[in-house]
Amino acid sequence: MKGQALKGHLDLLVLSVLAQGPCHGYGVIEQLRARSGDAFDLPEGTVYPALHRLEQAGLLESEWSEDSGRRRRTYRLSESGRGALVTERSAWEEFSDAVSAVLSGVPWPRPT
Amino acid sequence: MKGQALKGHLDLLVLSVLAQGPCHGYGVIEQLRARSGDAFDLPEGTVYPALHRLEQAGLLESEWSEDSGRRRRTYRLSESGRGALVTERSAWEEFSDAVSAVLSGVPWPRPT
DNA sequence: CCTTCATACCTCGGAATGCTAGGCATAGCC
DNA sequence: GGCTATGCCTAGCATTCCGAGGTATGAAGG
């Protein structure tokens, strides 16, 4: 995956993962890698600040837990977060369709 | 269209427009608006620097022209630009598919 | 015991990018 | 003359992603 292609869409991805159940930061990274078929392999320096940002914005809630001597911070979607996910998903679809529309006019050098 | 959702994908859009024929800056903005069904209404402060960047990178070539007393700068895809368009389009499709894959796991509150 | 690796968290600073806000100039219309 | 549309430009700000570095625990291997 080319550098910083996901600019502006990271929030949507993180919210999507957490919509399927609470998870901690490291787990979010693994989920994204798994669900995207290895396309998204995000560095920690990308994901952790994003989680903090989303919590700051009230879209996530977090809770510390101790699991076999390891401290973890588990994130969960808030009600606002659930709403934001719906909004962001719509925005993504609109955006994606718009890009497709622009691209559809471009001659494509491959067989159809 | 929500603010700066197109981060990182602007180049692809501009190259796509210019792949369909030479055009000047103002025209690129209009083309994008038209082809996207008004989804993309980009400010000049976004598009002009992008054109300069792409020319700097060798993906575009430009030429000044005088049309009824108005000076215009007409941009054209270079060979490199044509190659970059292919690369960027592939990258977009990969990215788009990856996002879709992640989203596909999210329960969607609307009828399918 | 000690090293190494995987897990798990964090932050700082750089780099890129888009946008707001301003400016300049010409043509056409009222 | 004034206003709008066309057509170009730049400076500086804000946001965002990422590389690099730091901390700490547990398990595995020697």
Condensed to tens digits (0 to 9), the pLDDT of residues B58-82 reads 999 999 998 777 899 999 999 999 9
Q: Which of A35, A97, A108 sits opposite B101 (nearest CB)?
A: A35
Report the side by side order of strands in the sheet with A23-24: A23-24, A70-77, A60-67
Mutate to test the interface with B, among A33, A42, A94, A106 (most CBs of B within 10 A): A106
Condensed to tens digits (0 to 9), the pLDDT of residues A40-65 reads 999 999 999 999 999 999 999 999 99
Q: Which residues of B touch A13 (CB under 8 A)?
A: 99, 102
Q: Which residues of B touch A37 (CB under 8 A)?
A: 98, 101
- B22 CB-to-strand D distance under 7 Å: no
Q: Which residues of B touch A6 (CB under 8 A)?
A: 8, 95
The mean pLDDT of chain A is 91
CATH 2.170.130.10 applies to domain A10-103: no
Q: Measure B39 CA to nearest chain A CA, in Å.
A: 6
Please give the backbone phi and psi of residue B93, each rounded to the nearest 5 degrees, phi first. -65, -40
Ramachandran sector of residue A106 (left: φ over 0; alpha: ψ -120 to 50; beta: rest): beta
Mutate to test the interface with B, among A20, A87, A103, A112 (most CBs of B within 10 A): A103
- Chain C nucleotides close to protein (CB under 7 A) are 7-13, 17-23, 26-28
Q: Do B102 and A5 touch (CB under 8 A)?
A: no
| Non-local CB neighbours of B35 within 8 Å, separated by 6+ positions | A101, A102, A105, B17
Cβ(A11)–Cβ(A73) under 8 Å? no
| Non-local CB neighbours of A47 within 8 Å, separated by 6+ positions | A14, A25, A28, A29
Q: Do B105 and A39 touch (CB under 8 A)?
A: no
Cβ(B102)–Cβ(A40) under 8 Å? yes
In which residue ranges of chain A is pLDDT below 70? 1-5, 109-112
Return the CATH class of domain B10-101: mainly alpha
Q: Do A99 and B92 touch (CB under 8 A)?
A: yes
Span B16-45, mean pLDDT? Answer: 95
Cβ(A28)–Cβ(A51) under 8 Å? yes
pLDDT of residue A60: 97
pLDDT of residue B111: 47
Confidence of residue B1 (pLDDT cuts 50, 70, 90): low
Where do the domains of chain A lie? 10-103
pLDDT of residue A111: 45
Q: Do B98 and A8 touch (CB under 8 A)?
A: no
- A23 CB-to-strand C distance under 7 Å: no
